[in-house]
Amino acid sequence: MGTGTPNPLQAGPRRRASLVALVFLAGLAAGACRSSAPPAEPPAVARTVPEGLARAADGEVQWRHEWVRGAVFYEVFVRSFADSDGDGIGDLPGLVAHLDDLNDGDPATGRDLGVDALWLMPVFASPSYHGYDVTDYEAIEPDYGAEDDFERLLAEAHRRGIRVIVDLVLNHTSSEHPWFREAASSPASPRRDWYVWRPDDPGWTQPWGGTNPTWHPLPSSPGGAFYYGIFWGGMPDLNYRNPAVLTEMERIADLWLDRGVDGFRLDATRHLVADGPGALQNDTPETHAVLEAFAAHVRRRHPEAVLVGENWTDTATIATYFGSTERIAGGDELPMSFDFPLAEAILEAVKGGVAEPVATTLAEVERLYPPGVIDAPFLTNHDQVRLATQLGGDPVRLRLAASILLTLPGAPFLYYGEEIGLPNGPGGGDDRLKRTPMPWNGEEPGHGFTRGKPWFPFVVAGPEVSVAAQRDVPGSLLARYRELIRLRHASEALGKGEIEVLDTGEPALLAYLRRAGDETVLVAHELGASPVAATLTVPGTVLLTESPEPLLADPGAKLRARDGALEIALPPGATGIWRLQ
Ligand code: CA
């Protein structure tokens, strides 16, 4: 959402589970041969599915998400990414001009970040700066460019092997959308039932707390009509009890998928159908039914398209949004949801120097998610205080957070600027402070973002907080992100494998195995302030070589095998990644 949804996870303590070894998210690629060679030339993104390939034996269309598992996504706020024409507003041609920074499509080059996919925050016409209140689902926001600029972005991204998903706001429109204007014009309007109405205000408030109302008086009908809008009066909720609304959204989804987008990030998915006050505005059976129907429609038409839901809640509830994996591998509802509890756990672990929050949350994911689904871990997004601010700009903790995120199973999401340690703007309460222009270089006044006046001020951070200042600096945060993404691509285990968290006996030592086929990789992070030395017992039948192959080892990180166990030593704040076999 674009309005600063409060974090419902802060409401209660996380359930604690014992630190146990665990296995989850068995990779689809188990058994596939591994290669330590550099990844092959990325294929141009295939747009067509050969007839019949996507159908299972029973005729049910299956997802084709091989490309998703292990992929690294990058969240872009177009308004703040790069301005091509000097009006101070980031735009699609500006993004195209920087695609080579994100992934130049050539595995032999080493200066690009190397991400596999982009998530564009809303790019449809909207009166707001953030775009989460749409006025035309079929048109590109004019601030961002013309329709053919979007076609060019897709073509240029796909040429580099980068997929593109776009934000689709199903839950609500802008109150300025022609549908709502028509619906509000008269109780007899044929569009009236596209929104949710009552003659009175039942006094409901937002389910995440506070006193903000979710029913709003229609100004043109004072005292006579109230409409439902869970976020605010400028965002009236669509009425999914009216089948015509879902049919229209399916048509819009087809339109963009036919134009070439690779899927959607779906906003506020747990609020689609409200059924009463308080918590009855979340996670209703009708909401699940709408998502299942929408997903089935997308899967039948575009089985390679991915859907990522914003279900900002606990692990057990997120797990329900995958639906069933009995007939549809990966889930017959949303095939991905952002892992908010894991994001919070990584931050807690890195801030507190303790491994337990991450180990516990991964154990819950293993226990509660259906088998074989794809997790969507991340650190922060556009609704959260930026990582660098939460970690006080500490370069060691920033590196640790990245090193954890990019060695987890699933498809990790980065938020633009995170890779250079961009902090929030000063102050609080203004969501734009989390969404400030990208500093490409240190050159005043435009920082490589614009040659004009930026739409919102730059964050005044250190001279090292820009792409240019870090790109060619070994040991920079950007270099660490780049290195981790390349490792993920070069290792089947790191990219697509299962995870097994190890009981290290050391509270600050987070260690896990990633396995796929005959490849096993050990990942270890010392989160505390002191050096650690520990002996790790590796479960299963790993054939330990005496000197495991280091894939990434911070200075002082050491590992050797002795007597069937692993002796590890890590300085404080260090990460080590070794291929065991
Ligand atoms: Ca512009």
Query: What distance in angstroms lies between residue 446's CA and the mean position of ligand 1's atoms?
Result: 13
pLDDT of 541: 64
Task: Give backbone dihedrals phi and psi of 414, rounded to 5 degrees, phi first.
Answer: -105, 150
Mean per-residue pLDDT for 363-381? 98
Q: How far is CA 3 from CA 64, 133, 169, 257, in A?
A: 33, 10, 13, 27
What is the pLDDT, as a whole number, of residue 272? 98
**Coil, strand, or helix at residue 400?**
helix
Query: Which residue in the block uniquely carries the two structure tokens 């691509």?
Result: 489
* Cα distance between residue 196 and residue 251, in whole Å: 21
Q: Name the active-site residue from 116, 133, 310, 383.
A: 310
> What distance in angstroms lies between residue 167's CA and the mean position of ligand 1's atoms?
20
Q: Give the largest Cα separation in the chain, rounded.
A: 80
Query: In whole angstroms, what is the distance from residue 311 CA to residue 217 CA?
Result: 28
List, for residues 52-88, the tens digit of each pLDDT value: 344 444 568 999 999 999 999 999 999 999 999 999 9
Q: In whole angstroms, how far apart are CA 64 and each of 298, 307, 454?
A: 12, 12, 41
**Distance (Å) from CA 442 to ligand 1 centroid:** 20
Q: What is the pLDDT of residue 60?
A: 85
Question: Across all residues in the chain, what is the average pLDDT?
Answer: 91
Give the pLDDT confidence of 224-243 residue by residue, as tens digits.
Answer: 899 999 999 999 999 999 99
Q: CB within 8 A of 512, min separation 6: which ones?
A: 362, 407, 499, 500, 501, 502, 522, 523
Q: What pLDDT does residue 542 have? A: 67
Residue 84 Cα to ligand 1 midpoint, Å, equals 5
Structural domains of the chain, with CATH: 499-579 (2.60.40.1180)
Model confidence, pTM: 0.91
CA-CA distance, 506 to 49, in Å (whole number)? 49
Task: Say if residue 49's pLDDT is above 60.
Answer: no
Give the C-alpha separation, 458 to 450, whole Å: 11
Say if residue 451's pLDDT is above 60: yes
> Residue 208 Cα, ligand 1 centroid: separation in angstroms?
36
Q: What is the DSSP string of 45-86?
A: PP----TTTTB-TTSPBPP--TTTTT--EEEE-GGGT--SSS
Q: From ligand 1's centre to the CA of 481, what distance in Å?
A: 28
Cα first-last separation, the chain: 44
305 alpha carbon – ligand 1 mean position (Å): 29
What's the pLDDT band for 543 if we cut at 50, 70, 90?
Answer: low
- Asked whether residue 36 carries a pLDDT value surpassing 80, the answer given is no
| Lookup result for tokens 């226990």 | 367
pLDDT at 28 over 50: no
Q: For residue 236, what pLDDT is reported?
A: 98
Arithmetic mean of pLDDT, 397-418:
98
pLDDT at 137: 98
Q: What is the pLDDT of residues 170-218, one digit of tens each?
A: 999 999 999 999 999 999 999 999 999 999 999 999 999 999 999 999 9
pLDDT reading at 3 higher than 70: no
d(CA 507, CA 343): 19
What's the pLDDT at 563? Answer: 84
- Concerning whether 267 is annotated as a catalytic residue, the answer is yes
Residue 575: its H or E element: strand 575-579
Reported as a pLDDT band with limits 50, 70 and 90, residue 220 is: confident
| Ligand 1: centre distance to CA 132 (Å) | 19
In the three-class reduction of DSSP (H, G, I as helix; E, B as strand; rest coil), residue 327 is classed as: coil
Per the DSSP assignment, residues forming a β-bridge with 498 are 515
Active site residue 364: no
Dihedral sign computed on CA atoms, order 251, 252, 253, 258:
positive
Ligand 1 midpoint to CA 140 (Å): 13
The catalytically annotated residue of 133, 141, 167, 267 is: 267
- The confidence score (pLDDT) of residue 29 equals 31
